[in-house]
Amino acid sequence: MKKRRRRAVLPLPLLLAELTVASWETVLRRTAMMAAGNCSVAEYQRMVLEKTEAAQRSALAMMTLSGQRGLRAAVTPWHSRARANAKRLRPR
Taking the C-alpha atoms of residue 25 and residue 40, their distance in angstroms, rounded to an integer, is 18
The domain locations on the chain are: 40-87
Q: What percent of the chain has a predicted confidence (pLDDT) above 70?
A: 99
Mean pLDDT of 2-19: 84
Per-residue model confidence (pLDDT) at position 92: 84
Helix spans in the chain (H): 12-36, 41-64, 67-89
Mean pLDDT of 35-58: 94
Q: To 5 degrees, how large is the angle CA 63–CA 66–CA 67?
A: 145
pTM of the model: 0.82
Mean pLDDT of 57-81: 90
Q: How confident is the model at residue 81 (pLDDT cuts 50, 70, 90)?
A: very high
Cα 59 from chain centre: 15
Whether the CA torsion 10, 11, 17, 20 is positive or negative: it is: positive
